[in-house]
Structure 1
Amino acid sequence: MGILDSLQQDRILIADGAMGTLLYSYGSDSCFEELNLSHPDQIFHIHQAYLNAGANIIQTNTYAANYHKLERYGLQDQVKEINSAAVKLAKKAVLHHTGSHVVGTIGGIRAIKPETIPLEEIKRTFREQLYCLLLEGVDGILLETFYDLEELETVLQIARKETDLPIISQVSLQEVGYLQNRVPITDALNRLEAFGADIVGLNCRLGPYHMISTLEEVSIPKHAFLSAYPNASLPSYVDGKLEYDSDAGYFKETALAFRDQGVRLLGGCCGTTPAHIQAFSEALRDVSPVKEKQVKRRERTIVIPSQKKDVPTPLFEKAKKEQSIIVELDPPRKLNTDKFLRGAQALKDTGIDALTMADNSLASPRVCNTALGSIVKSQVGLRPLIHITCRDRNLIGLQSHLMGLHQLGIHDILAITGDPTKVGDFPGASSVYDVTSFGLINMIKQFNQGVSLSGKELGERTSFSVGAAFNPNVRVIDKAVERLEKKIEAGADYFISQPVFSEEKLLEVYHATKHINAPIYIGIMPLTSSRNANFLHHEVPGIKLTQPILDSMNSYRDNPEQASLEGLNIAKGLLDAALELFNGIYLITPFMRYELTVELASYAKKYGPSHTSRRVQNV
């Protein structure tokens, strides 16, 4: 009798619990799936323990046995061996347990960072693992721990075409009632049922309390069955190890509540052990399932618009129509900020539109740009544009940072991935990179909808305008423009470029990007010396100078004052060319020498209108 036959006979089936939790408790902290080959007895005995506890269905130890995840351990070429061994071990375990079944487990890959792995890679990886499991003769397929509904729907459709075996499809939630992209759980399960899943439900992340609360909103499916695999509890961190402290007796108390919500397949996820599964089994022995239930309708919260009254018109809107000048003034490396604030005031007096502040540029620590941005806004009265790097903050820190910026009334952001730590003052420091600039742009845009990355409501919408970096200093400009276009798809409103040091490059950028509606603030940076020019050209990623400029600056190697004047004149010449092609100008202040960008900003303001008129007529 198969899995679906048993369910159609009005039975509640019991699934197993966590595999990784037990292996971790035994001292294993590497690739759990590899243990199918190196320590098969451990895996076999865990299967046996769950079967002896009353499980009718056990899953293969293959949650992360795909090419993408095994690659982390150098095991990507052993996908077939690891999956095949896992099925054989599970089938061996059920030999003497009549009525028990083996499902081949495939876990989600994208988790809460969907942009990191293309769907085509997901499909290839999934097919490889699926075929390995099917060839060994599993009784069904379990798709579990999918945070990203698009990923689950994609692999479910592949699986449904390849097999008639029962398919269990389970999503994981960050918040009661919703997936991370705010799809209601009811809609998600209905979609999975429509794509051919035989059993739909929830697993991981939530314990019994919140999982039952979510299921209260879910109707009993018309053609599929409901499943639930709750976590044991929230883990604690004790002496360098994660520990779950849930009492199996609590699981026994909640078993009937799961039954009352229509659950027909009940197992466990992180933190659960054979004791938890035995508790479920004992509580539901000889208990009939429910076929009708009262569904609790959740009141949908309406996210109200931002209540901040002082949201200015986005910078990029001005740059679409007329000249807009922003200036970068890096936060100082030392604690004294007097010169920085004098520079900010001098630049404000020229009439620039915003002061941009880098986020620990070149991976070197500086005074927090958010703190300085708030001071510039309140004391100088100048609009701050804050850079945010993905290098220094994990997902928690990034979201907290955005919430703080919103409260400070800072609405202009440049989202960047960030220079690696090895180029900075602390080359041994960790680079976080939970997301790239693409993921950060997506996150900010989701904040503008009043929703955090995890899908939780923020209570109001933010009003961020999102800039992205653009590096035109590449051999093939089309590749850079393709990346720019992808950032627009992610939600970028405008772009700020690396400094450009030739009129030819400015023309190339103009023609390569003139089909794009998003404004580009073109970078202009005055050179200060021969050494400065050579350092930028040879050692700073993304910056290249022309040979004539290098020769010109080198000719004043022994005359620092004249070299600085020459750098300023070169910048003015580039500014002349840029103003004929672009509305947006991004002036970069070198070494806190704000007098240079003050002069350039004044120059641009003085000659801007005539340049603009010539651009309309001649370009």
Structure 2
Amino acid sequence: MIGGCCGTTPTEIAAIARAVEEERQPTVPFAAAERELVVAAHERPEETELARRLHAGEWVTCVELDPPKGGSYESMLAVTRTLNGSGAVGFVDINDNPMARARANALMAAIAIERSCAIETIPHVTPRDTSVMGLQSQLLAAHAEGVRNVLAVTGDPPHVGDYPGSRGVYEVDSIGLSQVVSRLNAGEDFNGKAIDAPTSFFLGVAVNPSADDLETELDRFHQKVEAGARFAMTQALFDLAYLDRFEQLLGGWPIPILVGIFMVRTHQLAVRLHNEVPGIVVPEDVQNRLRDAGPRAAEVGLELARELYAEAREKAGGVYVIPPFKQPEAALELLGS
């Protein structure tokens, strides 16, 4: 809200409004100085189970969960126990306010799951909703509680969710967030000030092999790797030809990859994903298979997921499964088969 005291004219208030609006534009205002980090030697941190499996070339299976849209974790914890107890799911990754709709914080949800369910988590962290100082505060607290895997993502844009008037915070983008995590691992904050003890996060990043602007996506992926990324999770893919093309352009994956598999049960959802969800491409032949299936669309959707899963085993380090909305246990139809 902008106002003025006596003597302030409408012209001056309009000028202030323009200046404030310019300041709110999503930018990357922090420019960390290029320098070698010198920190005290510390005992080598123990690898996370995710890091160990990826480095050993063991197949990784993960299911994506949405945190609760309410003040209780009970339902989320019950689902996680079911997934973990199946023996088919090695990890759960946790969305951070997916589709720009407010839910419980992903890092806090990860803490609750790891305390109660004996399974490693991969919480998503986005700079959309929090300042750099706030991000560092959340990361340090999560690390103190035992969370070690994190996925740095841009986050779904505010205009697609419940707060379309919000521009988001975005003091850094996902590349800058990766730098934040790497600096904490090196024993200092984003401004170069020493912290009491370095963190040992296993940092993951997002990559979209089906992006419209491949040149930009390739450049950003290289920057994320340079910023310290240790593994990557793709956007949901419905055709792994996109993965092959991206790998060719890269000249080989520099870090392990988890392929995203979205379990689609209706033709309508496939069309909506293709047209309304940023970054997702559902090829026409996939849409047609679901359309032609009619009442068997859910069955055909599972067939499609199984085909992608089998192909991914030859091309990636693992998969993460995005189950049908409010049906996370349905992931076991794919992973448990």
- TM bucket (normalised to shorter chain) is 0.7 to 0.9
Residue matched to 1:580: 314
Q: 2:111 aligns with which of 359, 374, 386?
A: 374
- Specify the SS of the correspondent of 2:66: coil
Q: 1:519 to 1:452 in 2, by over 3 A?
A: same
Letter in 2 for 1:313: T
Q: How far does residue 548 in structure 1 lie from its aligned partner after superposition?
A: 1.4
Q: Structure 1 residue 510: deviation in Å?
A: 4.1
**1:91-114 CA deviation, whole Å, 9 max, x = no partner?**
xxxxxxxxxxxxxxxxxxx99711
Q: Deviations over 1:521-554 (max 9, x none)?
A: 1111110212211110111010011111101112
1:234-271 Cα shifts (integer Å, max 9, x gaps): xxxxxxxxxxxxxxxxxxxxxxxxxxxxxxxxxxxxxx
Residue matched to 1:448: 185
C-alpha distance in structure 2 between counterparts of 1:548 and 1:112, whole Å? 43
**Structure 1 residue corresponding to 2:248, chosen from 511, 518, 521:** 511
Task: Indicate if the aligned counterparts of 2:77 and 2:116 stay in contact, CA closer than 8 A.
Answer: no
Q: What CA distance in whole angstroms lies between the structure 2 residues aligned with 1:571 and 1:506? A: 16
**Cα shift readout 1:498-525 (whole Å, capped 9, x = no counterpart):** 0110243343344344523211111111
Aligned: 1:342 with 2:78: yes
| C-alpha distance in structure 2 between counterparts of 1:581 and 1:516, whole Å | 10
Number of the residue aligned with 2:139: 402
The answer to whether the Cα contact below 8 Å between 2:28 and 2:172 also exists between their aligned partners in 1 is no
1:313 aligns with 2:230: no
Q: What is aligned with 1:291?
A: none
Q: Distance in 2 between matches of 1:574 and 1:534?
A: 19
Aligned-residue offset at 1:479: 4.2
The farther-off stretch of 468-477 and 457-466 is 468-477
Alignment partner of 1:114 out of 13, 31, 55: 31
The residue matched to 1:592 in structure 2 has which SS? coil
Q: Give the AA of the match of 2:30.
A: K
CA–CA distance in 2 between the matches of 1:398 and 1:529? Answer: 37
Amino acid at match of 2:193: K
Mark the runs of 5 or more structure 2 residues left unpaired by the alignment. Answer: 1-6
- The aligned residue for residue 65 of structure 2 is 329
* 1:593, distance to aligned residue in structure 2 (A): 1.3
Pair member with larger Rg: 1
Contact 2:107–2:125 (8 Å) recurs in 1:
no
TM-score, normalised with respect to structure 1: 0.48
Which residue matches 1:570? 304
Q: Structure 2 residue aligned with 1:597, among 323, 331, 336?
A: 331
Aligned residues: 320
Question: 2:141 and 2:36 mapped to 1: Cα distance?
Answer: 23
Aligned pair in 2 of structure 1 residues 356, 318: CA closer, same or farther (>3 Å)? Answer: same
Amino acid at match of 1:577: E
Match of 1:530 in 2: 267
- Contact 2:48–2:202 (8 Å) recurs in 1: no
* Residue 129 of structure 2 is aligned to residue 386 of structure 1: no
Task: Give the TM-score normalised by the residue count of structure 2.
Answer: 0.85
Q: Deviations over 1:149-180 (max 9, x none)?
A: x6xxxxxxxxxxxxxxxxxxxxxxxxxxxxxx
**Counterpart for residue 9 of structure 1:** none
Distance 1:351-1:551 versus aligned 2 partners, 3 A rule: closer
Identity %: 29
**Over aligned residues, Cα RMSD in angstroms?**
3.0
Maintained 8 Å contact 1:316/1:519: no
Q: Which amino acid aligns with 1:114?
A: A
CA distance in structure 2 between the aligned counterparts of 1:354 and 1:443, rounded to whole angstroms = 24
